[in-house]
């Protein structure tokens, strides 16, 4: 007999590393099916692996994607962090929201260029870069007006403001 999720959460977020690396494993579809009995499911991804199989097409549950492509300031080469066909797949799913980490107005401009170039549909969230409260506040002040001017949503890094860079919170 299947048991309800502990605490009956309304939303279960699958994150950590890159969850879509596991979508072809035999247990993936079963995991989604069982979670969907009690909750909506959100998969956090960096947008470099396309959803496939049950991840994309299994409909009995509410599944959405939080896609967070890395920007130039990450230091990763563009061909590793931006995969146009994958971004288009997420956008076409009509179940994606987009989250970018920015430190400067130039980063926000880069987000706007990606949104336009790849016709990214769905809400766009910008969060300030930082692992300390001080850095998060500095970057928030630098980007806030630019984010609002572009029509994007401004998020915080509340976990950093509350606990700093402490792990397992």
Which pLDDT tens digit goes with each residue over 101-125? 999 999 999 999 999 999 999 999 9
What pTM was computed for the model? 0.88
Mean pLDDT of 148-161: 94
DSSP annotation of 118: T
Please report the pLDDT score of residue 1 as a whole number. Answer: 41
Q: In terms of residue numbers, what domain contains 116?
A: 93-164
Q: What pLDDT was estimated at residue 166?
A: 85
- Give domain status of residue 129, yes or no: yes
| Within a domain: 18 | no
- Mean pLDDT to the nearest integer, 56-63: 64
**Does residue 77 lie within any of the structural domains?**
no
Q: What confidence tier does 4 reach under pLDDT thresholds 50, 70, 90?
A: low
Q: What angle do CA 24, 16, 141 make, to 5 degrees?
A: 135
Q: What pLDDT sits at residue 53?
A: 81
Reduced to 3 states (helix: H, G, I; strand: E, B; else coil), residue 11 is strand
The answer to whether residue 20 is domain-embedded is no
Any idea how long the chain is? 169
Question: Which pLDDT band, with edges at 50, 70 and 90, does 165 fall under?
Answer: confident
Give the other-Cβ count within 10 Å of 118's Cβ: 20
Angle between helices 105-117 and 133-150 (to 10 degrees): 50
106 is a domain residue: yes
Inter-residue contact 61 to 31 (CB < 8 Å): no
Q: What 3-state DSSP class applies to 128?
A: strand
């Amino acid at each position: 007999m299947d048991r309800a999720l502990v605490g009956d959460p309304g939303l279960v977020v699958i994150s950590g590393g890159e969850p879509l690396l596991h979508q072809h494993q035999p247990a993936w579809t079963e995991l989604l099916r069982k979670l969907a009995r009690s909750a909506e499911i959100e998969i956090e991804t960096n947008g470099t692996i396309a959803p496939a199989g049950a991840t994309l097409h299994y409909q009995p549950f509410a599944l959405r994607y939080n896609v967070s492509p890395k920007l130039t300031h990450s230091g990763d080469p563009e061909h590793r962090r931006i995969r146009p066909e994958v971004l288009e797949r997420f956008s076409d799913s009509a179940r994606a929201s987009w989250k970018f980490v920015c430190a400067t107005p130039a980063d926000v401009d880069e987000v706007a260029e990606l949104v336009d170039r790849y016709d990214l549909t769905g809400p766009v969230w910008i969060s300030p870069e930082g692992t300390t409260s001080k850095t998060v506040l500095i970057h928030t002040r630098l980007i806030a007006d630019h984010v609002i001017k572009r029509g994007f949503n401004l998020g915080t890094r509340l976990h950093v403001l509350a606990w700093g860079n402490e792990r397992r919170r």
